[in-house]
Chains A and B, each alone.
Chain A
């Protein structure tokens, strides 16, 4: 149900990995003299920096620059850590109007999610369910988590969701679902309520 920063992690790890490999390769080439031959860089095992470094780092602007760079890297790192927190990222209000000049039609996606949950909860074997809508009213994205008991026919539940629940949501929104995800959990809990029984029998007192 919750989204993690998988894409962000892959992107930044790829960028950092490529940078580290490139720097490492450059250092190796420099160390064995290949870079000196190719690009006329400094000779291997010779001192590149000459002079007094203490005097250089004693200048106030160098310390300030280092501090700023450090803070920037620290903030970026912190943002990356914060991005690791799983988020639901629910959609904002769905806009269901075609012509805004006549008025707006708004629907909170949680209203639709609740309707979907109510429908799924009536399926045989379903203990509880949670629905989450993302995307827009024109391109809705539904994520479902359904908990069934251990006696439930999971294939039947999936079939009923695919042939009844999802088409009905698409019918209500009048657009096909862009994506739908279904997570099934099995629980040992029993259903807390019974089943509707249409009885026509005789009651004997």
Chain B
């Protein structure tokens, strides 16, 4: 039984003949914390798409939208199957359906490649939109 929030990757091999090994034919287990999957998902979203996250602030208060920041992700693991939830900010007026569909595909593919976890669903919540400029909608006096 794995600790909660972790995922055990079994590495097969010839193994040692020692009696200490619980499983014959294995060299051990690589345990992947759920946080790792969350961070990988967030990093993939940040690096391989136009999605952004929030940066700055203290304890989540006062954080500002930042396209270069890593989006917040959470994972729900059931064995080797993962359901991811990502909260992202996106560029406006990009087509949101296309952009999020592409993001979902990228996250699912890359997380599966990098961790071996089968990502079945990626829920995406768009939490903010930006035009890409630093403006808050008000004109600036230069």
Interface segment, one of A22-30, A61-69, A80-88, A166-174: A166-174
Within the assembled complex, what's the spacing in Å between the Cα atoms of A98 and B129?
21
Chain A interface size band reads 20 to 34
Q: Are B139 and A172 in contact (CB under 8 A)?
A: no
B95 at the A/B interface (Cβ < 8 Å)?
Answer: yes
A162 at the A/B interface (Cβ < 8 Å)?
Answer: no
Q: Are B140 and A194 in contact (CB under 8 A)?
A: yes
Please name all residues of chain B whose beta carbon is closer than 8 Å to the beta carbon of A96 when the two chains form the complex: 96-97, 100, 126
A119 at the A/B interface (Cβ < 8 Å)?
Answer: yes
Q: Are A122 and B137 in contact (CB under 8 A)?
A: yes
Please name all residues of chain A whose beta carbon is closer than 8 Å to the beta carbon of B131 when the two chains form the complex: 115, 118-119
Please name all residues of chain B whose beta carbon is closer than 8 Å to the beta carbon of A187 when the two chains form the complex: none
A–B Cβ pairs within 8 angstroms, 19 of them: A96-B96, A96-B100, A96-B126, A97-B100, A98-B97, A102-B108, A102-B121, A103-B104, A103-B122, A105-B123, A105-B125, A111-B129, A118-B137, A168-B93, A174-B97, A174-B98, A194-B141, A194-B142, A196-B139
Contact of A118 among B94, B125, B135 (CB under 8 A): B135
Within the assembled complex, what's the spacing in Å between the Cα atoms of A174 and B123?
19
Q: Are B141 and A103 in contact (CB under 8 A)?
A: no
Within the assembled complex, what's the spacing in Å between the Cα atoms of A11 and B57?
52
For residue A144, give the distance in angstroms from its CB to the closest CB of chain B: 14
Known: A104-B124, A122-B138, A194-B139. 17 other contacts (CB 8 A): A96-B96, A97-B101, A103-B121, A104-B121, A105-B96, A105-B125, A106-B126, A108-B126, A114-B128, A117-B137, A119-B92, A121-B138, A122-B135, A168-B93, A172-B96, A196-B139, A199-B142
**In the complex, the 5 A-B pairs of residues with the closest C-beta atoms, listed nearest first:** A118-B137, A194-B141, A168-B93, A115-B129, A107-B126
Nearest B residue (CB) for A118:
B137
Chain A 105-137 interface mask (CB, 8 Å, partner B; 1/0): 111100110110111011000000000000000
B127 at the A/B interface (Cβ < 8 Å)?
Answer: yes
Please name all residues of chain B whose beta carbon is closer than 8 Å to the beta carbon of A105 when the two chains form the complex: 96-97, 100-101, 104, 123-126
Q: What is the total number of residues of chain B having a CB less than 8 Å from a CB of chain A? A: 32
B2 at the A/B interface (Cβ < 8 Å)?
Answer: no
A195 at the A/B interface (Cβ < 8 Å)?
Answer: yes
Within the assembled complex, what's the spacing in Å between the Cα atoms of A191 and B137?
13
Please name all residues of chain B whose beta carbon is closer than 8 Å to the beta carbon of A193 when the two chains form the complex: 138-141
Please name all residues of chain A whose beta carbon is closer than 8 Å to the beta carbon of B124 when the two chains form the complex: 103-106
For residue B123, give the distance in angstroms from its CB to the closest CB of chain A: 5
B136 at the A/B interface (Cβ < 8 Å)?
Answer: yes
Between A106, A112, A172, the greatest number of chain B beta carbons within 10 A of the residue's beta carbon is seen for A172
Please name all residues of chain B whose beta carbon is closer than 8 Å to the beta carbon of A108 when the two chains form the complex: 126-127
Please name all residues of chain A whose beta carbon is closer than 8 Å to the beta carbon of B127 when the two chains form the complex: 108, 111
Between A118, A122, A193, the greatest number of chain B beta carbons within 10 A of the residue's beta carbon is seen for A118
Please name all residues of chain B whose beta carbon is closer than 8 Å to the beta carbon of A163 when the two chains form the complex: none
Chain A 43-63 interface mask (CB, 8 Å, partner B; 1/0): 000000000000000000000
Known: A107-B96, A172-B95, A195-B141. A102 touches B104 (CB 8 A): yes
Please name all residues of chain A whose beta carbon is closer than 8 Å to the beta carbon of B141 when the two chains form the complex: 193-195
